[in-house]
């Protein structure tokens, strides 16, 4: 999909079995072509960004309609890139060299540090709370654990932050074990 002469949108990869374009998509493409032509002549950076984003949105709609990726030619910069629709989605990564290996040694060291730090902090704070308020240290510690649980759960799949999250969770569990064996 690119902007042709006279402000027309050209679809270079049409096939005979492609469905007909709906009228609203054709109208949106014509409107985009007019705006892109005007911005190409005298548009600023923000207008160029808007033309690019809108063109990609329309290319994604077109890709959804025809069921395969569309080559999008940015009329302002001239860059060409494939655009997938929601139904087609980008192809899965099959190249094993592109997938980074899991850094187990570094990750486990980071987890161990955060486990020790979290356990020590929880034990010290629980003992200080027990000295000041007695047995209320247990519900306060439970509230801390319940408050941290959603954040730790959400971080479990984030590439770097999973290691501190696993360490903090292990630290809280070990602190509870230590506090259970030797109450403050």
Residue 51 has pLDDT above 90, yes or no: no
Residues 59 and 120 in one domain: no
Residue 16 has pLDDT above 80, yes or no: no
Residues 41 and 77 in one domain: yes
Look at residue 7 and tell me if it is in a domain: yes
Q: How far apart are CA 120 and CA 132, in angstroms?
A: 18
Look at residue 97 and tell me if it is in a domain: no
Residues 60 and 121 in one domain: no
Residues 61 and 134 in one domain: no
**Parent domain of 163:** 104-181
Among 83, 112, 136, give the residue marking a domain's end.
83
What does the block give as tokens for 15?
A: 């096939």
Among 32, 49, 83, give the residue marking a domain's end.
83
CB 87 within 8 Å of CB 67: yes
Residues 6 and 78 in one domain: yes
Residue 61 has pLDDT above 90, yes or no: no
What is the reported pLDDT for 97?
Answer: 58
Per-residue pLDDT tens digits for 132-150: 999 999 999 999 999 999 9
Residue 89 has pLDDT above 80, yes or no: no
Confidence tier at 86 by pLDDT (50, 70, 90): confident
CA 49 vs CA 27, 36, 86, 97, 105: distances in Å:
21, 10, 22, 33, 43
Count of the separate structural domains present in the chain: 2
Residue 13 has pLDDT above 90, yes or no: no
Look at residue 163 and tell me if it is in a domain: yes
Query: Rounded to 10 degrees, what is the CA torsion of 98, 95, 164, 136?
Result: 150
Mean predicted confidence (pLDDT) in 9-27:
72
What is the reported pLDDT for 108?
Answer: 95
Q: Could you tell me what percent of the chain has a pLDDT over 70?
A: 83
Look at residue 92 and tell me if it is in a domain: no
Structure pTM? 0.49
Q: Which residue has the higher pLDDT, 46 or 173?
A: 173
Residues 7 and 79 in one domain: yes
Angle among Cα 181, 116, 123 to the nearest 5 degrees reads: 40
């Amino acid at each position: 999909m690119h902007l042709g002469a006279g402000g027309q949108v050209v679809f270079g990869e049409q096939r005979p079995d492609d469905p007909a374009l709906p009228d609203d998509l054709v109208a949106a493409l014509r409107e985009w072509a007019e705006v892109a032509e005007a911005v190409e002549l005298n548009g600023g950076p923000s207008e160029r960004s808007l033309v690019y984003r809108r063109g990609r949105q329309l290319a994604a709609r077109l890709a959804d309609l025809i069921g395969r990726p569309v080559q999008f030619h940015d009329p302002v910069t001239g860059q060409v890139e494939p655009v997938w629709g929601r139904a087609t989605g980008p192809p899965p990564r099959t190249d094993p060299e592109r997938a980074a290996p899991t850094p187990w040694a570094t990750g486990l060291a980071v987890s161990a540090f955060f486990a020790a730090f979290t356990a020590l902090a929880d034990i010290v704070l629980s003992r200080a709370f027990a000295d000041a308020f007695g047995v209320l240290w247990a519900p306060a510690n439970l509230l801390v654990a319940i408050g941290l649980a959603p954040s730790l759960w959400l971080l479990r799949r984030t590439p770097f932050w999973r290691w501190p999250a696993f360490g903090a969770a292990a630290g809280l569990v070990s602190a509870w074990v230590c506090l259970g064996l030797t109450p403050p």
